[in-house]
């Protein structure tokens, strides 16, 4: 009996050792809740706003796919020293957006582990390689201008609109594969949002080129 019990315990420890994230994710979820992040951020897809009024009641972006959306290193640093990404809530100047809470380094690391565990099957790894490509640039700035609503880096500093989240530094912040998946499945990720749905309007190739272009945006130093 003893050898069997010891074998069982050893196997259990081996499983935990092979998946160190499991314990981290649990701790991270506890830390997430202790910091009351859920007061502003939903981590359940089922909780997505169904209409404009419900959307207007939300205080922060949904995080049920955060692990597919963000780059881990960026997220861990940002939670300690948050910078402005959105200029206004829901694209409305009447709705001012406050500063995001700052977490301690330990809490940020734990919350990051938790958020990185929240993923979407719609994001296929290895789809998009960042590249400043002329076709993506043409669509972004002229043909279907994302620049109308999204700030982006230029040679001088930045240009673009203010109702969408800034894409300056998107190449450091966002998973390139998620950028494409978002364009191709926007209603799945965010059923109600001020951004148009370009499915059936932009071709798949166009979306790939735009995603590659956006993924090339680095932060200004």
* Contact string 95-134 vs another protein (x = CB under 8 A): ----------------------------------------
Using an 8 Å Cβ cutoff, are 98 and 44 in contact? no
| Spatial distance between the Cα atoms of 84 and 14, rounded to a whole number of angstroms | 42
**What are the beta bridge partners of residue 199?**
202
Give min distance, CB of 52 to another protein, in A. Answer: 5
CA 42, 47, 49 angle in degrees (round to 5)? 100
Find the part of the chain contacting another protein (CB under 8 A) among 20-28, 70-78, 106-114, 190-198.
Answer: 190-198
Give min distance, CB of 164 to another protein, in A. Answer: 8
| Spatial distance between the Cα atoms of 199 and 125, rounded to a whole number of angstroms | 20
Comparison of 74 and 198: residue with beta carbon closer to another protein: 198
Comparison of 26 and 145: residue with beta carbon closer to another protein: 145
Strands, E, within the chain: which ranges? 152-153, 158-159
143 lies in the site for another protein, by CB under 8 A: yes
Find the part of the chain contacting another protein (CB under 8 A) among 5-13, 77-85, 108-116, 159-167.
Answer: 159-167
144 lies in the site for another protein, by CB under 8 A: yes
Residues in binding contact with another protein, number by CB under 8 A:
29
**What are the beta bridge partners of residue 159?**
152
For residue 181, the 8-state DSSP code is H
34 lies in the site for another protein, by CB under 8 A: no
**How far is C-alpha 182 from the geometric centre of its chain's CA atoms?**
10
């Amino acid at each position: 009996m003893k050898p069997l019990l010891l074998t069982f315990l050893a196997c259990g420890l081996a499983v935990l050792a092979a998946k160190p994230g499991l314990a981290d994710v649990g701790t991270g979820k506890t830390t997430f809740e202790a910091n009351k992040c859920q007061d502003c951020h939903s981590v359940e897809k089922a909780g997505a706003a169904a209409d404009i009024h419900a959307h207007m009641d939300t205080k922060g972006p949904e995080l049920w796919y955060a692990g597919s959306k963000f780059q881990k290193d960026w997220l861990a640093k940002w939670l300690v020293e948050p910078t402005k990404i959105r200029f206004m809530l829901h694209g409305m100047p009447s709705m001012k957006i406050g500063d995001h809470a700052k977490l301690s380094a330990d809490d940020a690391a734990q919350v990051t582990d938790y958020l990185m565990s929240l993923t979407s099957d719609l994001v296929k790894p290895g789809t998009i390689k960042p590249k400043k490509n002329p076709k993506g640039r043409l669509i972004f700035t002229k043909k279907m201008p994302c620049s109308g609503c999204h700030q982006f880096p230029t040679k001088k500093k930045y240009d673009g609109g203010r109702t969408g989240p800034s894409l300056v530094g998107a190449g450091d912040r966002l998973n390139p594969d998620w950028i494409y998946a978002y364009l191709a499945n926007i209603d799945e990720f965010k059923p109600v949002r001020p951004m148009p749905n370009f499915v059936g309007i932009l071709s798949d190739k166009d979306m790939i080129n735009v995603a590659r272009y956006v993924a090339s945006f680095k932060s200004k130093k």
